[in-house]
Chains A and B, each alone.
Chain A
């Protein structure tokens, strides 16, 4: 297959970036999108045309959350429930023009080319996205039975891979789906319920502080989430947050 690639190039965080165009040919339809970029880089290096394109990637099986490209206006490209590394060239037509951009969000500054800094997501988790427990001194794993449907709901929320597609998809660059998923995962479980109110407050405060926008209910995040995290997690986040303002957890 043959494509014309328009790729965002930017030397570092302070440089001005622009699109560069690269034609590419002889691509197998079974090739993954990132393997196609590998082939492009190989030719850029061999023919000394330009510095190879920098893009984050690691596991290449859709679970590490490292890769993330804006492809023809969609985070992770034109398929549902996948990460960029799971996108295959058979999803494109021969001769297509493909526009490739980094995640765009105030909280995710560009580092180089298609690589952005997503450490803001780690900082939100550090603000309280966990259960306060230290190693050892915990009860037997079967001491607290958890209804299967509750455990399953918690698992579905916990499937988030922290890739940032929800933020990139949102016109407000909101991280509400990401935060909602973690708040839900932990609040649904009896182990995490104890600190649920404190947790939601500190995570939301941190989220606002880091420059993420608010949710205006367009749900682009849900549509683009590679792990199909549901928008109900945002509703739960809102409920818990309002509850926390009313101070239900403080006697």
Chain B
């Protein structure tokens, strides 16, 4: 495996312009002859398919849900960043670029991040043209709010439902192309394998989730936009069906997987309350604009609150520890997510947590006093309502309780500047790739990246690849590569189903969820917010043991030829066992702390991340070697030509 990031020559600010000026194009008549598969209908997938369809390519798009509008981008609450500088507060492309690199703890590729900042403004224009109802001020112009890791207000939003509105915009554009016949939609259809012919991605094998039928689809290029793998932790803010399997099957076929250990833990989620719990709900980062985070200053107060003897409102101002404002006076409650999460864990581990002991307060009393209840309701009403429905507590009267939870994965398939993976013809976009967020993503940047990739990057870079493909002709599915891939999927499903049938005499049988919950606990405990050599070694053993146990005791009812959600969960979990080992290996090898990756051996005296730029300023791209075998790693060095490397400081 050879990594070539294909960064265009020239000064940073001119790279993308130069690329576009010299890339190859496909003429309109030839576009009709070229087929593209897009897997996933979230922001990246839907925007890519809509844009490529509008250009005239033949696109097939796939999603596992019943409609493309269900993709988990829909749940993003807070907003989308852009360098419009509508607020005249000193923002610029340059500033957004620098904030993103710094937020990622100097572990992202400069050229990609600059391009992201550069196209960010066009995204807002595009969305407004589609009718996305962004919040406006009384003059009728667009409003902004602030997000973590920035000192400017550059976040555009639509109430607390920005992801929903952006996705519906992309879904509208996609629906238009479906109506025009350039895009064909396949719902309740899961990608099971990638088909590689003569070293190029040429198609996919899918499973119809209603009938269980396997199908073959061929194309000249495949775009993977299947999101992240955060659900490996079981309890996360991801949707129940979000999964890492499509990326993992591509990895097995030769696509390098980059920085798997970079997972983002979001500081403001509703805390865990019971064993039966299936997911954690995020409370938007935008709440940190006006909410103040605190725990009691005195341990005995915290104990009394946990025992139900004191209420948070009983604690006087002097007895509250606004620990983020104390530790980071410059950014206060708006420090980046990884910093805020670790600070909450630190307080709770030290015995100052409230609720079950693993929760801190997010308090709006000051904001209500300052702005009035109506203004707070106007800004955050739907989030407050969501909180109240789940917890049965009124956040206008008593502070919210929050705790960090797994939210996003910065790691993903390795891609070059063109978003192409190490398999020619296979592209990865959005959360599925690794490229723009380094070791920590800033709030409101995921939506920006998903749409940048789909609307403004892939329509260019895919053409550059496809220009060589105009004489290839239609790709046939009747080849040995397709047959082999389909047989592999068939065998895999049969192995799971037969295994389960063999076990019917076993009385200790357990459901797939049982194993998934255990895997999640292992990963959270030993490879979560804080990691060290010891915990990672332990995690590795525990995951192997659990995988063995899975094959001995899992019970999958029904058959593969019907709608069978238990089987779906089982094959996704099987992939997670493999991915878990990779995450642990990556976390083990990276002997430094950066962004979301916190190795307890590497921290400053006051508990901040301690990077080792000399040894680890690179992207770790892992190459699959077969099940159970350690993967080999290639390094892509990160050369910062324009950024002055510094210790990340939010004080």
Contact = CB atoms under 8 A, between A and B. Distances in A.
Contact of B133 (A11, A112, A147, A158): A158
Contact of B129 (A111, A125, A131): A131
Interface-central residue, B66, B124, B282, B509, by most chain A CB under 10 Å: B66
A21 interface: no
A134 interface: yes
B122 A86 contact: no
Given A60-B279, A133-B129, A119 B140 contact: no
Interface in A106-135: 111-112, 115, 117-119, 121-122, 125-135
A191 to B, nearest CB: 5
B386 interface: yes
Interface residues of A, number: 78
Interface in A44-61: 45-46, 48, 51-52, 54, 56-61
A42 interface: yes
A111 B175 CA distance: 23
B176 A122 contact: no
A56 to B, nearest CB: 7
A63 B389 contact: no
Given A158-B133, A191-B129, A146 B140 contact: yes
Interface string B501-536: 000000001110110000000000000000000000
Interface stretch (B2-10, B158-166, B296-304, B620-628): B158-166
Contacts of B456: 135-136
A142 interface: yes
A236 B69 CA distance: 24
A186 B131 contact: yes
A158 B168 contact: yes
Given A59-B74, A63-B161, A38 B278 contact: yes
A59 B137 CA distance: 31
Given A38-B513, A60-B239, A111-B563, A128 B130 contact: no
B210 A82 contact: no
A24 B466 CA distance: 57
Interface in B2-55: 47, 50-51, 54
Interface stretch (B368-376, B554-562, B635-643): B554-562
A63 B74 contact: yes
Greatest chain B CB density within 10 A among A51, A122, A129, A144 is at A122
A6 B616 CA distance: 58
Contact of B65 (A52, A66, A86, A146): A66
Contact of B273 (A11, A30, A81, A140): A30
Given A61-B75, A148-B138, A139 B278 contact: no
Given A59-B72, A119-B66, A132 B176 contact: yes
A62 to B, nearest CB: 7
Interface residues of B, number: 81
A151 B134 contact: yes
A193 B530 CA distance: 53
A61 to B, nearest CB: 5
Given A125-B175, A130-B172, A185-B131, A141 B142 contact: yes
Contact of B210 (A79, A81, A111): A111
A66 B70 contact: yes
A79 B390 CA distance: 13
B84 to A, nearest CB: 7
A136 B454 CA distance: 12
Contacts of B165: 155, 158
Contacts of B555: 45-46
Contacts of A154: 131, 133
Given A127-B179, A162-B67, A192-B131, A115 B140 contact: no
B473 interface: no
Contacts of A51: 557-558
Contact of A62 (B241, B277, B386, B455): B386
Contacts of B70: 58-59, 64-66
A28 interface: yes
Interface in B543-573: 555, 557-558, 562-563, 565-566
Interface in A11-34: 11-12, 28, 30-32, 34
A140 B124 CA distance: 8
A125 B173 CA distance: 10
Interface of A: 11-12, 28, 30-32, 34-35, 38-39, 41-42, 45-46, 48, 51-52, 54, 56-66, 79, 81-82, 86, 88, 90, 111-112, 115, 117-119, 121-122, 125-136, 138-142, 144-148, 151-152, 154-155, 158-159, 161-162, 185-186, 189, 191-192
The 6 closest A-B pairs by CB, nearest first: A145-B140, A130-B172, A138-B129, A155-B133, A134-B54, A135-B51
Interface of B: 47, 50-51, 54, 65-70, 72, 74-75, 84, 86, 122, 124-131, 133-142, 158-159, 161, 164-165, 168, 171-173, 175-176, 178-179, 185, 187, 210, 239-241, 273-274, 276-279, 281-282, 385-386, 389-390, 392, 455-456, 459, 509-511, 513-514, 555, 557-558, 562-563, 565-566
